[in-house]
Amino acid sequence: MKEFEQLLQKADWKKEKHVPVLEVKQKDGLVQVEASVGKEIAHPNTTAHYIAAIELYFLPEGEKFPYLVGRHDFAAHGASTDGPDTSTVYTEPRVVAVFRTEKPGTLYAQSYCNIHGVWVNKEKIEMQTR
């Protein structure tokens, strides 16, 4: 039996459409993160193949466990009462989260594709000095 961490997939987001892309901005003590999937290579968003969720975690330097910053579920994938891919409503796998921290650390993101599993990425967060 595989351990869960063996199921996490990693790749360069510029070459793999499932990897969450992290764009971080800091201002006035706040950290703003935009996490998206499919920035360079579009990910399909159909009833049969879609990104279901993105989760963000922050591990402050020197601490043992990460904090769950946020989870966003994407629920509209073109399905309607007329069948698959008949709706005009499709959610885009993109979310913005804002949090405050006094410590540098590492931001982790994981995206879940209903066909290709869990993909992860991380970004170091340095504290801005004024």
Active-site annotation, residues: 16-18, 43, 49, 113, 116
Residue 83's contacts (CB-CB under 8 Å, 6 or more residues apart) are: none
- What is the Cα–Cα distance from 114 to 117, expressed in whole angstroms? 6
DSSP state of 126: P
- What is the Cα–Cα distance from 53 to 24, expressed in whole angstroms? 19
- What is the Cα–Cα distance from 18 to 35, expressed in whole angstroms? 12
- What is the Cα–Cα distance from 55 to 70, expressed in whole angstroms? 6
Amino acid residing at 123: E
- 119's tokens: 């993909």
